[in-house]
Amino acid sequence: MRKRRVIHWFRNNLRLHDNASLYRALKNADEVISVYIIDSCYCENTVIDAPRMGPFRRKFLIESLLDLQRRLQIAGGQLWVFEGKADEIIPELALKYDAEAVYCQAELDPAELSVEEKLEARLWKYRIRFECCWQSTLFHLEDLPFPLSNLPKVFTDFRKETENHVRVRDVYPTPEHVPFPFGLSGNELPLIALKGQEPQGNNFYAGGESNGLKRLQYYLWESDLLKNYKETRNGLLGWDYSSKFSPWLALGCLSPRRIFYEIKNYEEGRVKNESTYWMIFELLWRDYFKFVHKKHGAQLFVQEGIQNKNRKYSEDLNLFKLWARGHTGVPFIDANMRELNTTGFMSNRGRQNVASFLVKDLEINWTWGAIYFESMLIDYDASSNWGNWNYIAGTGNDPRKDRYFNILSQGKRYDGQGDYVRHWLPELSAIPGGKIHEPWKMCSRELSGMGVVLGENYPHAGIVIQ
């Protein structure tokens, strides 16, 4: 008897738990060929002369693929990884190995949607079914209490309507067996995935479902950190001031629904308070940006933003690079950018401040900042990244007009003793007291409150917007 064979195309859902598309593939087939496609465009340089996928993202992706491969092998499966175009590779595989259907996760990026359309058209010619499953959000798209065209313009309205009217669907079970066609062997990661020097200094993050689940277990149950999340979430230094779930969420190594129900278990077994709610609140923000992305599509990525505001920006690449390298002369900004460049991560508080500074103080094209974050952030998620940059630039879903972050007061509030600044700008500790460099005269009092003393030798101290 001929066995039913299908292809499961992994995308930003690099996990076995709560995987709707994998569940559907296993339910409708006797054998599953699991594939992942690395698009060569990830290594192309952008308008700001930075690769679309920088070293931290690349390293995390490779680790995640290796972990997925290992977990599939334990379950009797294999992961094939290819370099190229999914709409070309997958039809070839389907024909070569006699697959009757292809399953995958539905994505949001316009480029990914274009690939889906081309792939579906090519598969249709050969009467091969193509099924995309919505599974990247806490709330399912079909369960929203309004049509997507009526998505609330501000988050608070979205939160109230969904909290009151939408139930989070159950988590899909983790498959014990993922049958792979007998006689076929695995393949090695293509060379494109291994290009470039490996980043140094990032000791916190290791990609993969296994490490994501370990982090979830640690943050909730082993360390009991969740109960204080609301009080600590605006921290700047260390591993435990926030959940750090975002890198694993970005690649789908962790499911938002798995996190949600784990929090609910925590509330029943340990404590239910403002902090446990606030973690769910953050998952709702993530959902909101996903649905904004789904509604507005490519408009999310243009300078006018989803509000279609036409504003002129500077495109001074040299000044932008000073911001990107952490050499603006503003300690709180530079410390955050140097953390990003060293680890691939930056706190939420830091991201808001460096983005506001680039857009509102330096008046540089905000899309450049979003592109740089896309390259550097280990937890890059297109919806959240571009949604937040729209928000800061005043072209997105912010109910307040002209939102502005006062960098000095923010630094004083969140780094009052200067520990964070000194950690990432060690040169400040070596500068003796004395005359403040001329451009700092207007803010010397605020800077002394941050616990730092600036001297004439601080790099680029003259580049300050007063």
Per-residue confidence (pLDDT) for residue 188, from 0 to 100: 55
State the fold for domain 137-171+209-297: 1.25.40
Who wins on pLDDT, 49 or 461? Answer: 49
CA distance 50 to 411: 28
Question: How far is CA 235 from each of CA 169, 170, 240, 395, 416, rounded to the nearest angstrom?
Answer: 32, 33, 9, 27, 12
Residue with tokens 């274009």: 114
CA distance 259 to 240: 17
Q: Among candidates 116, 113, 95, 125, which has minimal Cα distance to 33?
A: 95
Question: In the chain, what percentage of residues exceed pLDDT 70?
Answer: 86
Model confidence at 203, pLDDT cuts 50, 70, 90, reads low
In this structure, what DSSP letter does residue 45 have?
Answer: B
> What ranges do the domains of the chain cover?
1-135, 137-171+209-297, 317-449
The CATH number of 1-135 is 3.40.50.620
The number of beta carbons lying within 10 Å of the beta carbon of residue 213 is 18
Residues in CB range of 222: below 8 A, 6 or more apart: none
Mean pLDDT of 323-349: 94
Domain 317-449 has CATH 3.40.50.300: no
CA distance 137 to 85: 26
Question: How far is CA 201 from each of CA 256, 338, 377, 397, rounded to the nearest angstrom?
Answer: 28, 12, 14, 36
CA distance 9 to 115: 13
CA distance 384 to 293: 9
Per-residue confidence (pLDDT) for residue 193, from 0 to 100: 54
Among 40-44, 50-54, 92-96, 272-276, the minimum mean pLDDT is found in 40-44
Per-residue confidence (pLDDT) for residue 459, from 0 to 100: 40
Mean pLDDT of 421-426: 91
Q: Is the pLDDT of residue 200 over 80?
A: no
Model confidence at 405, pLDDT cuts 50, 70, 90, reads confident
2, 97 contact by CB (below 8 A): no
Per-residue confidence (pLDDT) for residue 122, from 0 to 100: 97
Tokens of 309: 């505001």
CA distance 272 to 275: 8
The DSSP line for 395-416 is SSS-SSTT----HHHHHHHHST
Per-residue confidence (pLDDT) for residue 151, from 0 to 100: 97
Mean pLDDT of 96-107: 97
Model confidence at 399, pLDDT cuts 50, 70, 90, reads low
Per-residue confidence (pLDDT) for residue 434, from 0 to 100: 32
Q: Is the pLDDT of residue 189 over 90?
A: no
pTM over 0.75: yes
364, 315 contact by CB (below 8 A): yes
The number of beta carbons lying within 10 Å of the beta carbon of residue 130 is 20
Per-residue confidence (pLDDT) for residue 370, from 0 to 100: 97
The number of beta carbons lying within 10 Å of the beta carbon of residue 5 is 19
Model confidence at 412, pLDDT cuts 50, 70, 90, reads confident
Per the prediction, the chain carries an average pLDDT of: 88
Q: Is the pLDDT of residue 194 over 60?
A: no
Q: Is the pLDDT of residue 388 over 90?
A: yes
Mean pLDDT of 286-310: 95
Among 57-61, 323-327, 396-400, the minimum mean pLDDT is found in 396-400
Per-residue confidence (pLDDT) for residue 271, from 0 to 100: 97
CA distance 25 to 21: 6
Among 83-87, 180-184, 194-198, 267-271, the minimum mean pLDDT is found in 194-198
Q: Is the pLDDT of residue 18 over 70?
A: yes
